[in-house]
Amino acid sequence: MKEKIIVTGACGQIGSELTVALREQWGNEAVIATDVKTPEGELADGPFAHFDVLDRDRLGALIQQHKPTQVYHLAAMLSATAEKYPLKGWQLNMDSLLYLLEAAVEANIRKVFFPSSIGAFGSHTPKDQTPQYTTMDPSTVYGISKLAGEGWCQYYFEKRGLDIRSVRYPGLISYKTLPGGGTTDYAIDIFYQALQKGNYTSFLSADTPLPMMYMPDAIKGTLQLMEAPADQLTVRTSYNFAGFTFTPDQLAQAIQQHIPSFTIQYEPDYRQAIADSWPSSIDDSFARKEWGWQPGYSLEDMVADMLKNIRAKTATNTY
DSSP annotation of 119 reads G
d(C-alpha 100, C-alpha 35), whole Å: 15
Q: What is the nearest approach in angstroms of ligand AKB to the Cβ of residue 7?
A: 18
d(C-alpha 68, C-alpha 88), whole Å: 28
Among residues 5, 18, 144, the alpha carbon closest in space to that of 77 is found at 144
Q: What is the nearest approach in angstroms of ligand AKB to the Cβ of residue 142?
A: 6
Contacts of 183 (CB under 8 A, 6+ apart): 78, 79, 80, 119, 171, 204, 210, 271, 274, 275, 278
142 is catalytic: yes
Among residues 292, 298, 283, the alpha carbon closest in space to that of 226 is found at 292
Contacts of 260 (CB under 8 A, 6+ apart): none
Nearer to ligand AKB, 69 or 237 (CB): 237
Q: What is the nearest approach in angstroms of ligand AKB to the Cβ of residue 150?
A: 13
Catalytic residue among 72, 85, 133, 142: 142
Nearer to ligand AKB, 4 or 168 (CB): 168
Among residues 300, 280, 43, 261, the alpha carbon closest in space to that of 184 is found at 280
Residue 114 β-bridge partners: 166
d(C-alpha 208, C-alpha 248), whole Å: 7
In the chain, the DSSP E strands lie at 5-8, 31-35, 48-50, 70-73, 111-117, 163-169, 171-173, 199-202, 210-214, 239-240, 244-246, 263-266
Residue 122's CB is within 10 A of a number of other CB atoms, namely 18
Q: Are 296 and 216 in contact (CB under 8 A)?
A: yes
Query: Three-state DSSP class for 13?
Result: coil
Nearer to ligand AKB, 183 or 240 (CB): 183
Residues in contact with ligand AKB by the rule CB under 6 A: 78-79, 117-119, 142, 169, 171, 182-184
Q: What is the nearest approach in angstroms of ligand AKB to the Cβ of residue 170?
A: 6
Q: What is the nearest approach in angstroms of ligand AKB to the Cβ of residue 211?
A: 8
Nearer to ligand AKB, 34 or 140 (CB): 140
Q: What is the nearest approach in angstroms of ligand AKB to the Cβ of residue 78?
A: 4
Nearer to ligand AKB, 15 or 171 (CB): 171
Nearer to ligand AKB, 34 or 184 (CB): 184
Provide the H-helix boundaries in 137-237.
141-160, 186-196, 215-227
Catalytic residues, by residue number, are 142
